[in-house]
């Protein structure tokens, strides 16, 4: 990929921070990287919409906007509907059930594809809207923060994640992804220029890192690895990275001080300023990987 990013040119740069499992330190890395590059007009987008926590690390932030994230749902006109069953037969997600005198719509299952309205011979189906969550925009100094909060009981995160990413506009966008390798992670990474995988040198860390790398390979997303809490566990993860030619871009050692600061909701680079330079250097390494 040939491009010049915001750090050295004029085009925006989008970096996703992901991992195969929870607890590896994605948010620690994402917030620290954003603060270290705040002068680059950075935007941090928290796409872990089920449990967003990035904004909690910025207690003095100023809320700029809050808006609903709405998705399409079918509305059935029972006076026109003949209950032929074509809508239900053509729904890939089983969101419709046609009874003798009524059509049941299971809104939580609906993906808003519009197939039901397309096949309805009586044109008895129109499009309605419903909210699945909220998107927030805030700022803390030079840094912009965007996050989403999924409504309780909602099963589909991808529409809200998409909305969060749409609101995260800037010269440098850092996407804090949800854990795992499910649809939520895939949607968060999609469209980013580079994915930094945060892992730990343990058997669990290696197993889930392998899953995440396989997912990124299918997505054809450039990737690199940051090992957090290095010094614990074994050397197998280093052997894996060397064998599969995956670049190791940085290590953050196991540190009681970093852990204590993080547990108090403090971004550790604010109290350990030498790490700001190291994280800025990490961003340069990422640029080199996608140049």
Tell me the average pLDDT across 109-136.
96
Q: Which residue has the higher pLDDT, 135 or 233?
A: 135
pLDDT at 9 over 80: no
pLDDT for res 10: 59
pLDDT for res 23: 85
Buried b (16+ CB within 10 A) or exposed e, 172-207: bbbbbbbbbbeebbbbbbeebbbbbbbbbbbeebbe
Domain 13-41+170-290 has CATH 3.30.2320.30: no
**Span(s) in the chain for CATH 3.40.50.300:** 13-41+170-290
Enter the DSSP assignment of 168.
-
Instruction: Find all residues with CB under 8 Å of 156, minimum gap 6, and list them.
Output: 71, 108, 111, 132
Lowest mean pLDDT among 10-14, 43-47, 259-263: 10-14
* Mean of the per-residue pLDDT values of the chain: 93
Tell me the average pLDDT across 45-66.
96
**Span(s) in the chain for CATH 3.30.70.20:** 73-130
pLDDT at 129 over 60: yes
Confidence (pTM): 0.90
Rounded percentage of the chain residues whose pLDDT exceeds 90: 84
The domain 73-130 is placed in CATH, from the list 3.40.50.150, 1.10.1660.10, 3.20.20.70, 3.30.70.20, at 3.30.70.20
> Cα separation of 101 and 122, whole Å?
15
DSSP H helical ranges for the chain? 26-36, 86-89, 115-119, 158-167, 183-189, 203-219, 236-243, 256-263, 274-290
pLDDT at 93 over 70: yes
How many CB atoms lie under 10 A from the CB of residue 220?
7
pLDDT for res 5: 53
pLDDT at 233 over 90: no
């Amino acid at each position: 990929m040939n491009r010049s990013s915001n750090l050295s040119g004029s085009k925006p740069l989008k970096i996703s921070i992901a991992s195969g499992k929870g607890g590896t330190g994605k948010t620690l890395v994402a917030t620290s990287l954003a603060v270290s590059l705040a002068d680059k007009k950075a935007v941090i987008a928290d796409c872990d919409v089920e449990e967003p926590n990035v904004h909690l690390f910025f207690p003095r932030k100023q809320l700029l906007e809050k808006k609903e994230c709405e998705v399409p749902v079918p509305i059935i006109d029972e006076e026109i509907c003949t209950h032929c069953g074509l809508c239900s037969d053509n729904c890939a997600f089983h969101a419709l059930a046609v009874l003798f005198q009524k059509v049941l719509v299971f809104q939580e299952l609906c993906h808003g594809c519009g197939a039901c309205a397309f096949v309805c011979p009586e044109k008895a189906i129109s499009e309605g809207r419903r909210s699945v969550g909220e998107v927030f925009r805030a700022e803390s100094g030079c840094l912009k923060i965007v996050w989403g909060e999924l409504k309780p009981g909602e099963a589909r995160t991808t529409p809200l994640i998409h909305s969060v990413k749409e609101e995260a506009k800037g010269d440098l966008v850092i996407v804090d992804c949800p854990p795992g390798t499910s649809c939520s992670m895939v949607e968060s990474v999609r469209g980013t220029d580079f994915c930094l995988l945060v892992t730990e040198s343990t058997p669990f860390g290696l197993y889930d890192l392998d899953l995440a790398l396989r997912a990124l390979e299918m997505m054809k997303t450039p990737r690199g690895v940051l090992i957090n809490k290095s010094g614990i566990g074994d050397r197998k993860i280093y052997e894996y990275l060397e064998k599969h030619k995956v670049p190791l871009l940085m290590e953050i050692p196991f540190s009681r001080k970093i852990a204590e600061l993080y547990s108090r909701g403090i971004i550790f680079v604010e109290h350990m300023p030498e790490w700001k330079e190291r994280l800025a250097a990490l961003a340069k390494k990422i640029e080199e990987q996608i140049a």
